[in-house]
Amino acid sequence: MLAIAFLAINYDLTIASTLIIFVVFTFAMYTLIPARLTHNSKPNNTFTAIGYGIGGVIVILLISMVLTTLFQGLLQTTVEPSLNSIMNSGFSSLAIDRIVPQSSQPVFAGSILLMIFTFGIVIATVETRMIGRAMEWLAKIFNVDLNKPFYRDIKVLAIFFLISGLFVWYHGTAKGVVDNVALMLTFIFAFISMEMIRRTGELEGATYLHIFNNLLYITQVVGFGS
C-alpha cells in the first residue's frame, strides 16, 4: 500500500486508484474464503518459483507465436507474426501509452524507471493476487476442486475461461487495449497464470511470471533490451 500511495502522489493517480480497488477486493476475498493460497505457501521455494516464472514466459511466447500464425486472419494481423511483433503487442497489452496526461503532472510522471517499477512490479504483483484470489474464491463458491487439472475437470476449465475472459475485458475496456494480438496474449497469460497457481499451490511463481512478462515487454520498447 505504501508503494501505491507513492505512485498516487508522484506518478499517476488513476493507476494508483485502480490498484487500490484491486487490493481492497483481493483482501476481501482473502478474508472471506478463507484463503488457502499465499505468496509462498511452500517455504524455501523461491528458486523453483523463479524457474516457473521464466518457463512460463517462454511458454506464453511460443503459444502466442503458434496461435498468431494459425489465426492471422481472425486476429487481423497485416504482417507475418514474429517475435518482435509479439513483443510489441505485449507492450500494447500493458496500455502504458494510454495514460491520460493530467493538468498538473506529478513530479515523476515522465520517469522511465518509475514506469518500469509501476507496470513491471507493482501492477504485476497486484494483478496476480487478484487473479489468484478470484480463482480460489470461485472455486470455493461452486465447490470446485483445484487439485484437478483443467483438462480433466470442466469446472476448473470454466473458471479459467471466465477469469481469463474478464481479464481480457478489463484490458479492453478499462485500459483501452484494442490490438487483437495483445488481447489474445492477455487471455493466454491469465490462463497460464492460473494453471501455475493451481499446480504450485502458491502465488510466488505466477507473480514472477507476471513480473518477468511485463519487464520483458517494457525493456524491449524503452531500449534496455536492445
Residue spans of the chain under pLDDT 50:
100-101, 103, 225-226
Which residue segment(s) compose the domain that 142 sits in? 2-34+53-97+107-222
| Res 2: pLDDT | 59
Inside any domain, residue 44: no
Spatial contact of 155 and 144, defined as CB atoms under 8 Å apart:
yes
Inside any domain, residue 171: yes
What is the pTM (predicted TM-score) of this model? Answer: 0.87
Inside any domain, residue 217: yes
| Res 175: pLDDT | 82
| Res 45: pLDDT | 82
| Res 208: pLDDT | 96
| Res 225: pLDDT | 46
When divided into structural domains, the chain yields a total of: 1
Spatial contact of 133 and 26, defined as CB atoms under 8 Å apart:
yes
Q: CA-to-CA distance for 114 and 4, rounded, in angstroms?
A: 12
Question: Residue 148 carries which DSSP code?
Answer: S
* Cis status, amide bond into 101, omega within 30 of 0: no
Q: Compute the C-alpha angle 106/12/94, nearest 5°.
A: 140
| Res 226: pLDDT | 44
Question: Residue 99 carries which DSSP code?
Answer: P
| Res 110: pLDDT | 62
Q: CA-to-CA distance for 4 and 74, rounded, in angstroms?
A: 38
Inside any domain, residue 169: yes
Inside any domain, residue 29: yes
- Phi, psi at 191, each rounded to 5°: -60, -50
Q: What's the length of the chain? A: 226
